[in-house]
Structures are given as structure tokens and as C-alpha cells.
Amino acid sequence: MRVLSGIQPTGPFHWGNYFGAIRQYIDLQDQAAEAYYFIANLHALTTVRDRNLLRQYTLDGAIDLLALGLDPEKAVLFVQSDVPEVSELCWLLLTGTPMGLLERCVSYKDKLAKGLKADAGLFTYPVLQAADILAYDADVVPVGEDQVQHIEVCRDIAGSFNHHFGETFVLPKAKILDHSARVPGTDGEKMSKSYGNTLAVFDDVKAQRKQIMRITTDSRPMDQPKAPEGDVLFDLYKLVASESQVAEMAALYRRGGFGYGEVKKSLADAAEAFFAAARQRRADWSRRPDDVRDVLQSGAAKARAKAAATLARAQAACGVKGY
Ligand code: ADP
Ligand code: TRP
């Protein structure tokens, strides 16, 4: 099994990104024969238009992944733009991609529906993602449900290239990450950068505590019991507390006679403990940014070797090499 996944550096990673995606694909580094993980900065360029921010989010994203357990001995970690072969492959794939296929993609459709102007980068976003996947002959792509359509587009594009020019690409499969890991935000809606309801994985401990204390709750009287499931505080607590702590908290909800203040305090304590080791590793890596760049450079070298071989195969297949 060759696993590949990417994440856009569009801001600090939040609990939704971690529990919904990052944690699950980092876990796969132990099962896969080969694992490739990258920071999708070319994709992020469709939304982040400030060069300093993009640079910062890119390096921070890599530091976060290392701190959260990505092991460069087990997985190849790199930055998307350090493998130019992928952009070249993207062009080969763009030719022959039907407009209608891309017009049906939700990220583009949503933007148009909101009355916003989309650029050609956003329109062709799924083709660059297809190039990302095909360049490394990935067969398993762990992604959240929101990305499944892009993997289907990738399979369509690869399938029709193979059909037209002969077997060139491996058709990948999406590995849909656990849907129950849909993380609620501080307002009870799905946690998302675009809703401004996120808890950052690596926020300052005190700031995060304050943010947790401000989470909106209902006006249930203190003496009344409450079903734990579906309550924002409880659902967040489940992610960071131990099994026995969760069982105790569930019992407290069912019994009643508690205030949300104490639940929030327990949530903040559990979150602090849960991320403590990662926070420590993050502090260590942050002090050595050049070591992080070295990891990324050696990851990119491995990734390039693989991508160059695939690109050469595709170039030969469609006749832009060997004239
Ligand atoms: P955002 O919605 O904050 O812009 P992204 O779309 O960049 O987040 O998320 C990257 C990945 O993280 C997604 O593909 C998805 O799998 C996962 N993810 C994001 N938010 C959540 C959430 N609230 N619950 C579960 N997974 C999430
Ligand atoms: N589009 C993905 C997201 O927003 C990120 C991404 C870019 C990706 N290229 C990829 C994911 C290739 C998997 C495979 O989450």
C-alpha cells in the first residue's frame, strides 16, 4: 500500500483538522509500505494571497505535523512546490480534462453560488490534486468526506488518460476517514476556519482556556440532568479525555446537579494534558527551523525522484518526449 495525503497551509491547524484528518493519516505511516505527506502550498495560493503569511503557514504546517507524530523516518514529508514535476504533470492532465467535470466540483460551484468570482486556479484545483496523487503512484488517499469528489475526479482523469495513451497511471482509492470524527466548533456548528469557531491545536494554553470558557452553552438549570451526546462541551471532551474520564463525565450529565463552568474547566485541563507532549515537541522543532527545512528538503528529494519517473512515463505516453 502506498499512501499519500496533503493538507493546505491556510492557517493554524485546528481540532477538526487534527481529529478529522491529520491524526488518522499519521497513524497510517505505520501500516503503509510507503507514505507521502505534503503541505499543499500551491493549492493554498488559491486563497492565501500574502507571501509572508503563506511562507509562515507552510513552515508552521510542517512543524505541526512533526510535532503531532509524523515521523520522517517512516513517511516522506515535503512541500508541494518543491516538486515541480507535479505542476508539469498537471498540464498534461489539464489537456483532455472535460470542462464539465470541473464545473461539477463543489468547491468551485460553492464559490460561484456565493456570488464570488473564481479564478482559473480554483477551477482547475482538482486537476493539480490529481497530479499530486498520480505523480507518486499512490493507491490509497486518506481524506475527509469533503475530498471524495476530488479523488473521483482524479480517477476519471487517470482512467481516460490510460484509455487514450495506454496504461500510465495507478488508479487511487479514497480511504474515507472516520465520519464520527466530525468535530464541532465553539458555536456547535462544524468546526471550520471559515466559521471562525475553531480551537487551534497549538494555541497558547491560557488563550485556549479562555476560549473554552467562552463556548456557548444552553440555559439548562444546574440541577437538571442532560443527555451528554450531542452537547458541544461533551463532544469536545470525548476527543481529549481518557475513557474513564469520559464515562465519569457522561454519568455527571445524566445525574444533573452540575454547571457548565466545571465541564469547561475539565475540558481545558484535558486538552492541555492531551496536547502536552506534542506542544513540547513543537517547541523543540520551532527552535530549530533549519532542521525542519532539512527534513523538508530530503523529503522533497525522495518525492522528486518518484514524481520524475512518473512524469517521464506520462510524457513518453502522450508524445511530448521522444520526438
Ligand atoms: P477548514 O474547514 O477549516 O477550512 P480544511 O477544509 O482546510 O478546513 O480541512 C482540511 C481537512 O481537515 C478536511 O479535508 C477535513 O477532512 C478535515 N476537517 C476540517 N474540519 C473538520 C471538522 N470540523 N471535523 C472533522 N474533520 C474536519
Ligand atoms: N484538497 C485537499 C484539502 O483541501 C488538500 C490536498 C491537495 C490533497 N492535494 C491533495 C489531499 C492530494 C489528498 C491528496 O484538504
For residue 26, give the H/E element and its range: helix 23-27
How much is the pLDDT for 144?
87
What is the whole-number distance in angstroms between the Cα of residue 8 and the centre of ligand 2? 7
Choice among 74, 175, 193, 226 that is catalytic? 193
192: Cβ below 6 Å to ligand 1? Answer: yes
190 is catalytic: yes
* Ligand 2 near 129 CB (within 6 A): yes
Determine the residue of 17, 232, 236 to mutate for testing ligand 1's pocket, defined as the one with the most ligand atoms within 8 A of the Cβ atom: 17
Nearest to 36 by CA among 86, 92, 106: 86
How far apart CA 3 and CA 21 sit, in angstroms, is 14
Q: How far apart are CA 295 and CA 22, in angstroms?
A: 18
Q: What pLDDT was estimated at residue 177?
A: 83
Written as nine digits, the cell of 96 is 483532455
Q: Which of 109, 114, 175, 190 is catalytic?
A: 190
Known catalytic residue at 193: yes
In the chain, what are the domains?
2-182+289-318 (3.40.50.620), 203-274 (1.10.240.10)
Please, what's the largest Cα pairwise distance for the chain?
81
User: Cα–Cα distance between 157 and 149 in angstroms, integer?
Assistant: 12
Q: Report CA(275)–ligand 1 centroid distance (Å).
A: 19
Is the beta carbon of 8 within 6 A of some atom in ligand 2?
yes
Distance, CA of 296 to CA of 245 (rounded, Å): 38
Q: Which ligand is nearest to the CA of 46?
A: 2
pLDDT, tens digit (0-9, with 9 covering 90-100), for 250-296: 999 999 999 999 999 999 999 999 999 999 999 999 999 999 999 99
CA nearest neighbour of 155 among 176, 177, 136, 139: 139
Q: What integer pLDDT is reported at residue 180 of this predicted model?
A: 59
Query: Is the distance from the beta carbon of residue 193 to the nearest atom of ligand 1 less than 6 Å?
Result: yes
pLDDT tens, residue order, the chain (323 aa): 999 999 999 999 999 999 999 999 999 999 999 999 999 999 999 999 999 999 999 999 999 999 999 999 999 999 999 999 999 999 999 999 999 999 999 989 988 898 888 899 999 999 999 999 999 999 999 998 889 999 999 999 999 999 999 999 999 999 988 765 689 999 999 999 989 999 999 999 999 999 999 999 998 888 899 999 999 999 999 999 999 999 999 999 999 999 999 999 999 999 999 999 999 999 999 999 999 999 999 999 999 999 999 999 999 999 999 99
pTM, full prediction = 0.95
pLDDT digits (tens, 9 = 90+) for 166-207: 999 999 999 988 765 689 999 999 999 989 999 999 999 999
Q: What number of H helices and E strands is found in the chain?
A: 16, 5
20 within ligand 1 shell (Cβ under 6 A): yes
Look at strands 34-39 and 2-7 and give their pairing.
parallel
The amino acid present at 305, given as its one-letter code, is A
pLDDT at 3: 97
pLDDT of residue 146: 86
Ligand nearest 195 Cα, by number?
Answer: 1
Nearest CA to ligand 2 atom 15: 7
Ligand 1, atom 15, residue with closest C-alpha: 144
